[in-house]
A and B are shown apart, each in its own frame.
Chain A
Amino acid sequence: MEQKELHKPNVSRFALFLAFSRISLSSFGGAIFWARRELVERQRWITEREFIEMFTLGQLLPGPNVLNLTVMFGYRFAGWTGAAASVAGFLGWPCLVVVGMGVLYQHYGALPQVQQALTGMSSVAAGLLLATVVKLAMVLPRHWRPWLFGALAFVGVGVMRWPLLWVMGALAPWAVFAAWKEQE
């Protein structure tokens, strides 16, 4: 494993903390764009290819995608404490900002102007989610099976409002098994 990682510059924990703080504080509407810019272009700590592989793996795993990348990245360059330093940078600041927003919301959330602005912004937020669905669905194969699984997940969780644990427990093994058989 040591021979495989040829490109592995020496990165201090503090540098990791700073880099992920910068990523986190500049990322509005998704952190992946800024993570690539900082880690690949600015610091040149990893190559484009390594970055994409790490991100894909992060997407496969549960939890916020870029957080998974953050953990793997920090661990790879500076072990456990490196992972901790990266996560502290990545989540610490947004946590404080969000709490600040929470304080403002509790004080001013009931003002009519704030209410109106929030309503308009919420309609936009719903549109952003819907657009994500459209973009993601474009990469689905033109075959009935993936669309059936997608539809069942939507109906179970979005229409019937069943608990996610039941729906995933019923659908996920079946879906993975079907994809596995298809591969053979």
Chain B
Amino acid sequence: MDRLDLGGLFLHFLILWFLAIGGPATIFPDIHRYVVDVHHLLTNTQFAEIYTLAQVAPGPNAMYVTLIGWHLAGWQGVAATTIPLLVPATTLTLLVGHLNERYPNAPIGQAIRRGLTPITIGLVFASSTILMRAVNHDWRGYLITLLTVAVVLRKSWNPLWLFAGGALAGILGFV
């Protein structure tokens, strides 16, 4: 484990949140790269578990960054990872919200949306494969993942039930 550089962590998260068009799942791969691969602050398994825990908590899905911060450095870590996610929302969002009320049908807005959507999809796909490789050790893990996909695409159940099912499968020794 490297020595923790909170300032560096803060700056890295700050840059990432400005790139997070399409939501927190798009920066998941780069947070994993920074925290696990480059700085060895968490193991692959710890990272996956922390992400999962935050998904079971109420609130926006982005709160996994807060939990990473807490795990690394307590309240200071929470500040270093959570404050950056507020910065684009309080600067760019207010500015664009203001401009949008003035110029509602600007074609550049449409081009940005159409152009960036596929990139967002590619990034969320990258997040899911990184998470799968971190948690699924054999075919049984992949089976649970695929079952989840099948259920989500067909039913609109609350995801908490699926998490409960996954926990049960784990405790019963299936994975």
Contacts and interface: CB of A to CB of B under 8 A. Distances in A.
A9 B33 CA distance: 46
Interface in B156-172: 158-160, 162-163, 165-171
B122 A175 contact: no
Given A29-B160, A140-B117, A172-B115, A126 B145 contact: yes
Nearest to B82: A95
B124 A132 contact: yes
A69 B162 CA distance: 28
Given A98-B66, A105-B53, A150-B125, A120 B71 contact: no
B3 interface: no
Given A58-B93, A150-B118, A158 B148 contact: no
Contacts of A133: 121, 124-125, 128
Interface residues of B, number: 106
Contacts, number: 358
A142 interface: no
A122 interface: yes
B45 to A, nearest CB: 8
Could you tell me the dominant secondary structure of chain A's interface residues? helix
Interface string A135-177: 1110110000011011111100111010111001001100111
A130 B124 CA distance: 8
Interface residues of A, number: 93
17 contacts: A30-B61, A60-B109, A75-B94, A94-B57, A94-B58, A98-B67, A118-B49, A118-B170, A120-B165, A123-B136, A124-B159, A127-B148, A130-B125, A131-B153, A133-B121, A164-B30, A172-B119
Given A122-B166, A153-B122, 15 more contacts: A4-B101, A28-B56, A62-B92, A75-B97, A95-B78, A97-B57, A98-B54, A101-B53, A119-B135, A120-B171, A126-B148, A129-B131, A158-B126, A168-B19, A176-B115
Interface of A: 1, 4, 24-31, 57-68, 70-72, 75-76, 83, 87, 90-91, 93-95, 97-99, 101-102, 105-106, 109, 113, 116-137, 139-140, 146-147, 149-154, 157-159, 161, 163-165, 168, 171-172, 175-180, 182-183
